[in-house]
Chains A and B, each alone.
Chain A
Amino acid sequence: MSDQVIEKKTRTISQQRRLGLILRWVLAVVLIVFSIFPVIWIVSASIDPVNNLATQKLIPDNAGIQNFRELINNPIFPFFTWLWNSIKISVITTVLTLSLTTMAAFAFSRFRFKGRQELLKTILLVQSFPNLLAIVALFSISKQIGDVFAALGLNTHAGLILVYLGGAMGMNIWLMKGYMDTIPRDIDESAHVDGANDWQVFSKLILPLLRPILVVIGILSFIGTYGEFIIARTLLTKRELQTVMVGLQIYTSGQYTQNWGVFSAGALIAALPIMIIYLVLQDQIVGGLTAGAVKG
């Protein structure tokens, strides 16, 4: 009798388990649909020759690559020029951000000098102001610099990169310094005893150990710069100089419902590099996110 009860109990428990599992999978499917529906929809639109928001079907008739071909051939919307601009600007900004912040973080982590704490606190506080809020000031600074030195002014990629660099210092110096503090100072002290100077300690000893954090900051900086559009739109007004995000936004501000397919093709190409970076390097990125970076 007691055996039967136990058997019955285990059966109900396993039934409950199964029910729970089924419920979980149902919910999972709902969540998956919610997350990937827009993506599927944009993929479908990009191969739909109809090129119209109103009549687009989920599974297009006569799927083809007309929309992609249109992207290449459209002289008013030089999509691939924009894409190239974006990649160029993001790569240069990332490389410069990494070099400048790593060196600054080294000084903040390893040297003790007057004003160090005050400077660090100011950097931390200032970085929480979105630089978009000072967009008017950024615009006039760029304009004024451009008035006397056109190569760094409005409508130049160099000027835009400078603005990005200035805004990138705060959080990244902080993240980098935090990581460097975890590297014991005994290492560099013994190197100093052996006659190494600061530069040698930095480049030969510390830098190789920074690989993980360099990857995280590098990726986040690239993605952030690549996705930024409002400062780029304000500082670059010439069509052939603009970035792909600005371009896509311009594209949809006109008669976008009629050009939906072409927009989708562009959006897909523009999003793909970032999606791949994320999916391949997700573990590293998650590490950086929990350290305090918020996606911009």
Chain B
Amino acid sequence: MENKNGSIGTVAKKSISSLSSFITTFIIIAVDVLLGYITYQLASMGYIPLTVVFIIIILLISAAFLIPKLSHLRWIAVGLSAWLLFSIFPILFTIYNAFTNYGDGHLISQTQAIEQITNQTYLPETGKAYEWVAYRSDDNDYLLWVKDNEGNTFIARPVESEGDTRIFDVVTGENGIGEIDDEGVPVTIEGYTRLNRILAATDQNLTNIKFGDPEKTIQVRSPSEAAELLPLYEYNPDDNTFTNQQTGKIYYDREGTWTARDGTQLIPGFTSVIGFDNFIEFATSPGLRGPLVTIVTWNFIFASMSLLLTFSLGLLISVIYGDPNFKGKKLLRSFLIIPYTIPSLITILIWRGMLNPNLGIVNRMLESVLGISPDWFNVSTLARIAILTVNTWLGYPYWMLVTSGALQSIPSDIYEAAEVDGATGFQRFWRITLPLLLVSVGPLMIASFIFNFNNFNLIYVFINGGPPIPTATTTAGYTDIIISYVYNLAFASGRGVQYGYASAISVVLFMLIAVMSLIQFRFTNMWEEVGENV
């Protein structure tokens, strides 16, 4: 009896599992089709690196769900795909960008640049000609009736006009066309007035308007003639050149810009690999190197001082108030944790208001008590002091929480032994507490150093890295750290956006961070932890 039930159960289970595997396969195929479509589109736009990433993601997901041997990958495939796309690929892409001229004038891919340049047209002085008649509406919309040499007629709207049909046949009753005269010209078109020869010849706009589709564009050449526009540049894929059809001039690809022998260039250019140029510029240009030395030095000072100040204040508080006999500990902690509970961006904005040199509450108080009014925003040293103060405010509760936990875990018999040996309180702190503490919170200190090393929010939001360094040729200030400098270089530089150059600095910063992180992992057992449980 029981046996029977069991076998029925197994059969049911089996059919359920084959049904569910069928559904899984179906869903995976659907996902693959969607991703495949995106991948195909990306490839046709010329976004090759991203196409490759998408192919990897498709392979990963398909393998995980369709190959039983790799079924453990099901658990990580989706997360891993997101990680590949938005953690790994951006890093690789940044490294690639560092070797390109990606930036103003070179923002698009070669495929797109070719398409844009091929779309440029010119009005030939000879060639296929049309007779024409123009119509104008009260809102200054135009229509053009044309007839070619064989006697075919049609009407064209301007290229810029909305709607899909910009060229249509001359048929009474359609598109508001009224009666048609012997020549085939509509006498009236609803909403438009037919322009007579004189009106048309004197119309200011008419000769500037392009009529028809992008593929078949017609422009008025003279009072008697209209002509079809021709592509101005012809692309030759064999040697990657453009030839100007009007002048015969040839443009060669020079680091992402098609340039003629006389130096004239075609716009737009495209993103092109330029080797180590960004790094060389980084190392040799005095206008760039000058601020960079200031910025890197300050970056290290800022991160070290931030760590020292927040750690010291946090530790001081937990040592002074760690005493179990001290009443009101819980209450005090609740108050002191408050800076930590406010989203840091908001805190920074509040401090910016409070420290405003002319209007802020801090200077109003200093003014009335001490008669001084320090300019926190425009004097470099004061700005740096202000930033460190704000960061101390932001960061000490973290260390207060961490150190008070770590202090409790130091065994008390060590202190008793030290007391027996006659050590003073001071000695006990320096010789026992601090060394033991540093061992247990050391890794967190390195993490905090790295965090502050890249504390973009504070620097950028407080006074955007200011005050400006006068000798710098790029946007750079005395409180800028590398990451805020890079950001401004990429998005807000006075010299236009320079993604390639910004990426080159990012790569250098990546290497710095990698070294610091590896030191952190040495200190912790994280690295070893991986090896365990194998």
Q: Which residues of A contact B (CB under 8 A)?
A: 21, 24, 27-28, 31-32, 34-36, 38-39, 41-42, 53-54, 56, 58, 100-101, 103-104, 106-109, 111-113, 117, 120-121, 123-138, 140-141, 144-145, 147-149, 162-163, 165-167, 169-170, 173-174, 178, 181, 223, 226-227, 229-230, 234, 245, 248-249, 252, 256-257, 260, 263-264, 267, 270-271, 274-275, 277-279, 282, 286, 289-290, 292, 294-296
Contact = CB atoms under 8 A, between A and B. Distances in A.
A144 B45 contact: yes
A113 B397 CA distance: 42
B353 interface: yes
- Chain A at the B interface: SS class: helix
B361 A41 contact: yes
Contact of B82 (A106, A149, A169, A252): A169
A24 to B, nearest CB: 6
Nearest to A106: B75
B405 A290 contact: yes
Contacts of A130: 454, 456, 483, 513
Contacts of A289: 398, 401-402
Given A56-B361, A141-B86, A148-B38, 4 more contacts: A132-B483, A132-B487, A137-B93, A166-B82
B31 interface: no
Interface residues of B, number: 101
Interface of B: 38, 41-42, 45, 47, 50, 72-73, 75-76, 78-80, 82-91, 93-94, 97, 102, 317, 320-321, 326, 328, 332, 334-347, 349-354, 356, 358-361, 393, 397-398, 401-402, 405-406, 443-444, 447-448, 450-451, 454, 456-457, 460-461, 483, 486-487, 490-491, 499, 502-503, 506, 509-510, 513-514, 516-518, 520-521, 526-527, 529-531, 533-534
B50 A144 contact: yes
A288 B483 CA distance: 27
Contacts of B490: 135-136
A249 B349 contact: yes
Given A128-B513, A129-B91, A270-B343, A100 B97 contact: no
A279 B80 contact: no
A125 B45 contact: no
Contacts of B529: 178, 181
Contact of B447 (A135, A167, A229, A292): A292
B486 A133 contact: yes
A136 B87 contact: no
Contacts of A292: 443-444, 447
Contact of B345 (A134, A148, A245): A245
A106 B491 CA distance: 40
Contact of B349 (A223, A226, A227, A263): A263
12 contacts: A32-B335, A123-B83, A137-B97, A148-B41, A148-B45, A229-B345, A230-B487, A245-B346, A267-B346, A279-B341, A294-B448, A295-B398
A28 to B, nearest CB: 6
Contacts of A270: 343, 346
Contacts of B339: 35, 38
A58 B517 CA distance: 45
B215 to A, nearest CB: 22
Nearest to A53: B359
B393 A34 contact: yes
Nearest to A126: B87
A36 B341 CA distance: 11
Nearest to B404: A286
A126 B339 CA distance: 30
* 5 closest Cβ pairs, A-B complex: A166-B86, A148-B41, A107-B75, A134-B90, A278-B341
